[in-house]
Chains A and B, each alone.
Chain A
Amino acid sequence: MKPNEPLIQNLQVWRVSPPPDSRFRGEVWRRIDALRGAGSWAGFVRAHAAGLAAAVVLTAGLSGWIGHTAAQVHVRADRDTLLAGYVASLDARIQTGLDEESP
Chain B
Amino acid sequence: MKHAGTVVLGLVGVALVVGVLGYRTGCDPALHAAADRRDVTAWLKRDFHLSDAQVAAIERLHREYATVCEGHCLAIGAAQRERDELRRAPAAAAAALAAAEQRIRELSTECETSLLRHLERVAAEMPAAEGRRYLELMRARVATFGHAGAPELDLKDPHAEHGH
**A residues bordering B, Cβ < 8 Å?**
39, 41, 44, 52, 55-56, 59-60, 62-72, 74-75, 77-79, 81-100, 102-103
Does B108 sit at the interface, judged by CB under 8 A? Answer: yes
**What residue in chain A is nearest B20 (Cβ atoms)?**
A67
- Complex-state Cα separation, A86 to B150, whole angstroms: 9
User: Assuming the A-B contacts A67-B20, A71-B22, A71-B27, are A98 and B108 also in contact, with contact meaning beta carbons closer than 8 angstroms in the complex?
Assistant: yes
Chain B 47-59 interface 0/1 with A at a Cβ cutoff of 8 Å (1 = within): 1000000000000
Query: In angstroms, how far is the closest chain B Cβ from the Cβ of A83?
Result: 6
**What residue in chain B is nearest A77 (Cβ atoms)?**
B35
Residues of B within 8 A of A41 (CB): 3, 6
Q: Which of A60, A65, A77, A88 contacts B150 (CB 8 A)?
A: A88
- Complex-state Cα separation, A78 to B161, whole angstroms: 23
- Complex-state Cα separation, A87 to B104, whole angstroms: 20
Whether B111 lies near A68 (C-beta < 8 A) is no
Query: In angstroms, how far is the closest chain B Cβ from the Cβ of A31?
Result: 20
Q: Which of A63, A78, A86, A90 contacts B69 (CB 8 A)?
A: A90
Does B76 sit at the interface, judged by CB under 8 A? Answer: yes
Whether B153 lies near A39 (C-beta < 8 A) is no
Residues of B within 8 A of A69 (CB): 26
* Interface residues of A, dominant DSSP: helix
User: Assuming the A-B contacts A91-B145, A95-B161, A95-B163, are A85 and B150 also in contact, with contact meaning beta carbons closer than 8 angstroms in the complex?
Assistant: yes
Q: What are 29 A-to-B residue pairs whose CB atoms are below 8 Å?
A: A56-B10, A60-B14, A63-B19, A67-B18, A68-B22, A68-B25, A74-B32, A75-B31, A78-B28, A79-B31, A79-B35, A81-B151, A82-B34, A83-B137, A84-B141, A85-B38, A90-B65, A90-B69, A92-B69, A93-B108, A93-B111, A93-B112, A94-B153, A95-B158, A95-B162, A97-B155, A98-B146, A99-B150, A102-B147
Other A-B pairs, 5, CB within 8 Å; known A69-B26, A90-B65, A91-B115? A71-B24, A82-B40, A85-B153, A90-B119, A96-B77
**What residue in chain B is nearest A89 (Cβ atoms)?**
B163
Residues of B within 8 A of A102 (CB): 145-147
- Complex-state Cα separation, A71 to B18, whole angstroms: 13
Residues of A within 8 A of B153 (CB): 84-85, 88, 94
Whether A86 lies near B43 (C-beta < 8 A) is yes
Whether A94 lies near B145 (C-beta < 8 A) is yes
Residues of B within 8 A of A90 (CB): 62, 65, 69, 115, 118-119
